Amino acid sequence: MQIYYDEKNNEVVLNKREYDDETFSNHGLFEEKFPLGYLLVGFIELDFDKIAHMVENELTLSMPRNAEDALSNIEKIERFFNELKNVHAYFWDNHHDIEESFDLYIYEAELHFQIKSLLLKDADWFDSAEFQESIVSGYSSSFYGTSGFHYPSSFLISIFNIKNNPENISEAISAYIKEHPLSDVFIQEFRDKLNNIIETGKWFKKAVEFCLDSESPLELRNLSPLHRYYLFQKYINKGVQYYCIPTTYQINSIDDESHESWEELPDFDESRFDEIIKSLPKEPINLYEVYDVNVGSACYFEFMKLVSKGTRLNKCKNCGRYFINTGRADTKYCDRALGGDGKTCKDVGAMNLYREKTKNDPVVEEYNRAYKRRFAQVKHKKLSNQEFERWSMEARVKKEKAKAGKISIDEFKNWLGNK
């Protein structure tokens, strides 16, 4: 992935590589823009226990018996990561690893399928002093048996170093294949990567709570995020967690389509200065620092931007999770969806706030009773929409008079028809 900061709009731009959902073929780069902090906050507030459960229970494969089984396993992995990438944009970073691993998986699967038949042909070679000396000395990165089959040295070295290794190397290979199913090794690599991502999220959640939380720890509320970060590095992190992020510079947008045709332009000619100058774009030219990142360094990049800008983060008063406020400064609720009905914390929060304000207000209580009764009459076609609207307008006027003390609560109740 690549990432850069658009200071003018206070946005982080994530540059992802697009893959076909079925073939994982590369479709080039595309951009997504997010308010500064949005990606980091969304990531650290993921349910990592749920993701860990998915990794443990859904990311499983059976030992491939043939090429068809191997392809079936790959399809299962694709489905898993297609589901995972919808959880958060950072999980797109795994697609490159998947693409490379698939080729290795097929290659090693073929090795597994062929190794047993090749053992008989290469048994003497495996047991030869020449082979064992080459393995120990590390002379070669690969070996060709007497059968002509290409054996990766990493595979053979792992066999050679088996604990309680039998003297006969061919027996060790048979034991290795039996005890180390390829599918387990393949899946464990992905599990390790995803578990590292989970640990990264938990670590940055800890860093955000200490350095950026607007309300806690209480003892640090009056310190700036930068001062809190200093204390965090000194006493908690102890300078361990640092990221060195490769940087390049890019003119305008990363995926500016005009760049594609630059190679087709004629060579520079001093006699064409006027023509060249006219080719300058009319819009302003911006220079961006573009960073090549993985999940950890992407979190670090955004976290440090927030620290350097002195940004403090609030927790939603409804769900209790951090959120990036892009609206009013006093916003207390986030825009996260709560369920299938499409309601957000902000929707529920506004409703709860209204209830809190009106629960001890007898005027509003009487008005709501009458409103519900009239609305039910409309629903059962005992009152027309026009009649309801006229009543509603007049009832709101009466309600405001009752709240202002211009009419008594009893007069208001009688007018509403409440008992």
Give a three-class secondary structure readout of 10-54. Answer: CEEEEEEEEECCCCCCEEEEEEEEEECCHHHHHHHCCCHHHHHHH
One domain, residues 287 and 389: no
Report yes or no on 263 lying in a domain: no
- pLDDT-based confidence at 39, cuts 50/70/90? very high
pLDDT surpasses 70 at 311: yes
pLDDT surpasses 50 at 19: no
pLDDT surpasses 60 at 146: no
Per-residue pLDDT, averaged over 129-142, amounts to: 57
One domain, residues 5 and 149: yes
One domain, residues 384 and 310: no
Report yes or no on 154 lying in a domain: yes
One domain, residues 38 and 124: yes
Torsions phi, psi for 248 (to 5 deg): -130, 170
* Confidence (pLDDT) at 252: 66
- Cβ atoms 70, 105 nearer than 8 A: yes
Per-residue pLDDT, averaged over 337-354, amounts to: 76
Mean residue pLDDT of the chain comes to 76
* Confidence (pLDDT) at 90: 83
One domain, residues 69 and 3: yes
Per-residue pLDDT, averaged over 10-14, amounts to: 89
Report yes or no on 341 lying in a domain: no
- pLDDT-based confidence at 163, cuts 50/70/90? very low
pLDDT tens-digit readout, 71-114 = 777 777 777 777 777 788 887 766 656 666 666 666 666 655 56
33 strand-pairing partners: 13
Of 244 and 115, the one with more pLDDT: 244
pLDDT surpasses 70 at 17: no
* Confidence (pLDDT) at 32: 85
In 3D space, the residue among 304, 161, 286 whose CA is nearest the CA of residue 229 turns out to be 304
Report yes or no on 326 lying in a domain: no
Domain count for the chain, please give it.
2
Report yes or no on 331 lying in a domain: no
Of the chain, the percentage scoring pLDDT greater than 90 comes to 15
One domain, residues 379 and 305: no
- Whole domain around residue 209: which residue ranges? 1-258+276-315
Per-residue pLDDT, averaged over 132-153, amounts to: 54
- pLDDT-based confidence at 42, cuts 50/70/90? very high
Angle (nearest 5°) at CA 271 between 267 and 277: 80
One domain, residues 143 and 28: yes
Q: How far apart, in whole angstroms, are the C-alpha atoms of residue 397 and residue 56?
A: 61
pTM here is 0.66
One domain, residues 408 and 283: no
One domain, residues 232 and 374: no
One domain, residues 20 and 166: yes
* Confidence (pLDDT) at 27: 46
One domain, residues 193 and 48: yes
- pLDDT-based confidence at 255, cuts 50/70/90? very low
Which of 13-17, 257-261, 327-331 comes out lowest in average pLDDT?
Answer: 257-261
